[in-house]
């Protein structure tokens, strides 16, 4: 699982990797909760789901909720069919406890969601065109056998390179196929159907399944990248294949012939792909036979058909060895050890061949660390240059290429963020001249050209860097105090800066509008000479406040008490839950060393974070 194609291609997507890492723990404990009817597993499942909600990709949580419905629904249905009311109520109480604990643990997440929802358009749904971006194209199924074929294969796969690799090991494929041919339990059949639906949904617009889910199922219209559905297909296939591997080796004589036929069929398929690729290669010299100074030159030289030849040859050897193991080794214990050894070798080889394509950089970590250490620390007062000058290119050194202004402590609008405010998206799409002109200012500035939204929509405004558009209501509230700005003289300077606190000295010859190039959001407050003033939404996005004539001190402070309260609730429940689990462990296992170690790690981490 950890060396599957999903992890190998998503190494740069931290939230995806974190979320995928927690999924097995969540699913395992939710399943055990229903099998054992034990409250402990409700606690464990809630705890791991909390970790996913606070650190992982929420896409997985949305899909996971439907898997919960399938697993929980199956066990409750069985109990109802067998007329075991006590078990039905027990399962319902367990699920209620699981949901309640998850909700309490995730209070801070829900508070933030409620606050941010009005500002971010995609949280209210998105167009199907956006939601279907970067699917697992049907041709990506080739990666199940030949993951190297995805390297430099963007034109063939017609999707993002990180979304087309679902390799889970060629050694396990015969056992997965065998698991599909045998009789399954009711739960296994449900999981298999879920895996198939997820696989079809991962194809995006290639099949109608994804659009049906998008249109008619809650939460399915809130995320992009249909390829993420394939992770659940991977998990379920690994579970079915792993169980089949164990059961096959315990009753080997029954499955031996079927395994030989399946393995032989896979060998024939790989051989045909190799022959086909040799024909398509047209006698071109094979890149992998040349010498290269590093892996990056090797990857750059790779191409689709030659990748199939190289990876196909390796897979043919692996499958041939598996065929011999099945045919020749008679000891069950030895057979299992050898097969597991080849599974490990198979995954390591595939990872090494693919990881440099999306996961490595020629940049030296040591040089990058030295470079970052040389950059400003803390939050220095920003320079009064135009924000538009602070581009990413200025900081793209030693492997840094996105959001580089974070390291250089420069205020910038040239950033990547999947959750842009909807007003910013609107300006980028429909009001680009106003947006671009606004960025030709420093972080704080005085504006001479203030207009109402009606005047702007009626095209009565000539856009300049100092243009400010206010709602008609806000404009009327200050218009009388901005009578003559043509002779306005002013001086502005930032005196203190933190991410949640900005102060500036402002000297003006008459009343004027002072603007901070910061998205208006719940929690911001403005003070002029110590008195709180109303924040006006300017240019549909930023924050402005009226300052009187003379010398003034303007402060913008960010305080969000609901989030703080939500955080207190979340962490209090987290600590209480850990205490309860600790008491349970002590009573049952008497393993004091493990408990002390866990609490020591938690205390050290908390001290490092907060102090």
pLDDT at 95 over 80: yes
pLDDT at 430 over 70: yes
- State residue 294's pLDDT score: 83
Domain coordinates of the chain in residue numbers?
A: 366-408, 422-559, 562-610
Asked if residues 116 and 563 have their Cβ atoms less than 8 Å apart, the reply is: no
- State residue 201's pLDDT score: 97
Sort strands 467-470 and 449-452 into parallel, antiparallel or unpaired: parallel
> 73-106 as b/e, with b when 16 or more CB fall inside 10 Å?
ebbbebbeeeeeeebbebbeebbebbeebbebbb
Q: How does pLDDT run across 152-201, given as a tens digit for each residue? A: 888 899 999 999 999 999 999 999 999 998 888 999 999 999 999 999 99
- State residue 253's pLDDT score: 67
Mean of the per-residue pLDDT values of the chain: 92
pLDDT at 123 over 90: no
Q: How does pLDDT run across 526-539, given as a tens digit for each residue? A: 999 999 999 999 99
Q: How does pLDDT run across 42-86, given as a tens digit for each residue? A: 999 999 999 999 999 999 999 999 999 999 999 999 999 999 999
pLDDT at 523 over 90: yes
pLDDT at 373 over 80: yes
pLDDT at 589 over 80: no
pLDDT at 136 over 90: yes
Q: How does pLDDT run across 463-472, given as a tens digit for each residue? A: 999 999 999 9
pLDDT at 569 over 90: yes
Asked if residues 492 and 506 have their Cβ atoms less than 8 Å apart, the reply is: yes
Burial of residue 407, with CB atoms counted within 10 A of its CB: 0-12 exposed, 13-18 middle, 19 or more buried = middle
Element (H, E) at 492: strand 490-498
Which phi and psi (to 5°) does residue 207 adopt? -130, 160
Of the pLDDT bands very low, low, confident and very high (cuts 50, 70, 90), residue 142 is very high
- State residue 483's pLDDT score: 74
Residues 6+ apart with CB under 8 A from 486: 448
Could you list the beta-strand ranges (E) of 344-488.
444-447, 449-452, 467-470
- State residue 360's pLDDT score: 81
Q: How does pLDDT run across 487-521, given as a tens digit for each residue? A: 889 999 999 999 999 999 999 999 999 999 999 99
pLDDT at 254 over 70: no
Give the Cα separation of 277 and 35 in Å (integer): 49
């Amino acid at each position: 699982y950890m060396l599957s194609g999903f992890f190998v291609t998503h190494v740069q997507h931290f939230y995806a990797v974190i979320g995928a890492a927690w999924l097995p723990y969540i699913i395992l404990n939710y399943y055990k909760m229903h099998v054992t009817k034990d409250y402990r597993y409700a606690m464990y499942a809630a705890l791991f789901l909390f970790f996913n909600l606070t650190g992982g990709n929420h896409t997985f949580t949305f899909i996971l909720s439907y898997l919960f419905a399938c697993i929980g629904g199956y066990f409750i249905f069985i109990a109802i069919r067998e007329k075991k009311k006590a078990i039905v109520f027990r399962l319902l109480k367990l699920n209620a406890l699981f949901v309640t604990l998850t909700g309490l643990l995730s209070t801070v997440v829900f508070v933030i969601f409620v606050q941010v929802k009005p500002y971010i358009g995609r949280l209210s749904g998105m167009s199907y065109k956006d939601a279907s971006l970067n699917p697992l194209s049907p041709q990506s199924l080739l990666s199940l056998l030949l993951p190297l074929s995805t390297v430099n294969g963007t034109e063939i796969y017609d999707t993002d390179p990180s979304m087309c690799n679902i390799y889970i090991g060629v050694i396990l494929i015969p056992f997965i196929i065998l698991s599909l041919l045998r009789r399954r339990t009711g739960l296994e059949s449900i999981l298999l159907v879920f895996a198939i639906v997820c696989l079809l949904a991962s194809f995006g617009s290639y099949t109608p399944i994804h659009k049906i889910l998008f249109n008619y199922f809650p939460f399915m219209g809130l995320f992009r990248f249909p390829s993420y559905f394939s992770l659940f297909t991977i998990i379920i296939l690994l579970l079915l294949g792993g169980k089949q591997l164990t059961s096959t080796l315990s009753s080997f004589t029954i499955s031996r012939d079927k395994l030989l036929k399946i393995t032989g069929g896979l060998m024939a398929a790989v051989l045909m792909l190799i022959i086909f690729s040799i024909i398509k290669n047209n006698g071109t010299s094979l890149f992998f036979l040349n010498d290269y100074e590093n892996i990056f030159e090797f990857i750059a030289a790779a191409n689709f058909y030659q990748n199939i030849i190289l990876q196909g040859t390796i897979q043919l050897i692996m499958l041939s060895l598996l065929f011999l193991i099945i045919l020749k080794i008679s000891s069950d214990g030895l057979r299992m050890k050898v097969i597991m050894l080849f599974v490990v070798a198979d995954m390591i080889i595939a990872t090494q061949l693919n990881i440099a394509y999306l996961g490595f950089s020629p940049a030296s970590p040591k040089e990058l660390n030295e470079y970052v250490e040389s950059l400003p620390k803390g939050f220095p007062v920003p320079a009064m240059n135009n924000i538009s000058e602070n581009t990413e290119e200025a900081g793209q050194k030693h492997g840094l290429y996105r959001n580089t202004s974070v390291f250089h402590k420069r205020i910038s609008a040239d950033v990547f963020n999947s959750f842009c405010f909807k007003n910013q998206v609107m300006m980028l799409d429909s009001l680009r001249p106003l947006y671009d002109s606004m960025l030709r200012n420093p972080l704080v500035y005085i504006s001479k050209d203030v207009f109402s939204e009606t005047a702007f929509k009626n095209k009565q405004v000539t856009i300049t860097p100092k243009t400010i558009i206010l709602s008609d209501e806000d404009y009327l509230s200050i218009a009388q105090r901005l009578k003559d700005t043509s002779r306005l003289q002013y001086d502005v300077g930032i005196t203190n800066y933190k991410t949640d606190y900005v102060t500036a000295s402002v000297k003006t010859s008459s009343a004027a509008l002072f603007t901070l190039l910061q998205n208006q959001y719940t929690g911001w407050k403005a003070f002029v000479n110590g008195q709180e003033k109303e924040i006006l939404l300017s240019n549909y996005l930023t924050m402005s406040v009226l300052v009187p004539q003379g010398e003034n001190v303007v402060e913008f402070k960010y305080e969000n008490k609901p989030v703080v309260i939500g955080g207190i609730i979340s962490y209090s429940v987290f600590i209480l839950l850990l205490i309860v689990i600790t008491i349970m462990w002590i009573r049952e296992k008497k393993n004091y060393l493990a408990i002390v170690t866990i609490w020591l790690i938690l205390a050290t981490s908390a001290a490092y974070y907060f102090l």
